[in-house]
Amino acid sequence: MTWKKFSGELIRLPIHQEVKQAIEREYALSNKLKVCVGTDSQVKGSIIDFATVIVFLREKKGGFMFIHQERSSKKMSIKERMLTEVQKSIETAYSLCDLLDLYDVDLEVHADINTNPMFKSNQALHEAMGYILSMGFVFKAKPEAFASSACANKMVQ
């Protein structure tokens, strides 16, 4: 799985190792971190672009993120696409949770799903919330899910 920085620079190390180095670097600078993982997708004709982000928030000092992008040609309903986004976020969060626990870094999983029933994405809200919470993660949906609805969203437009 290929990850990159927001600058476009490719991350050559395994993502676990890159995250570990980032945490150690930030802690050496006395920065307190929180990590938010989110995924967004965009349908472009018969292709679906997905972007998963790992957002590092420095307490009162901004943040940075790592990005993974992929494409799918599988036709999906809106609900299936929303749950695929959640699955990608959970896979990423799960791969990092032991490391984040070791360094006492808070983790949230953000779902680009609207809490307002007037929006189509809402039909996946209960399943997504149950999936994320059952894995033991903190769940955020729109409008608090900035990792997916703002950060990842910028990478699929």
Tens digits of per-residue pLDDT, 56-97? 999 999 999 999 999 999 999 999 999 999 999 999 999 999
Percent helix, percent strand, percent coil in the chain, to nearest 5: 40, 35, 25
Average pLDDT of the segment spanning 40-68: 96
Task: For residue 107, list its beta bridge partners.
Answer: 35
Give pLDDT, residue 106: 97
Closest Cα partner for 156 from 51, 86, 65, 81? 51
Torsion angle (degrees, nearest 10) of CA 92, 129, 83, 33: -30
User: Token pair for residue 141?
Assistant: 């949906």
**In this predicted model, what pLDDT tens digit does every residue of 114-129 receive, in sequence order?**
888 888 888 888 899 9
Please tell me whether residue 92 adopts helix, strand or coil conformation.
helix
User: What domains are there in the chain, each with its CATH number?
Assistant: 3-156 (3.30.420)
Q: What is the pTM of this model?
A: 0.94
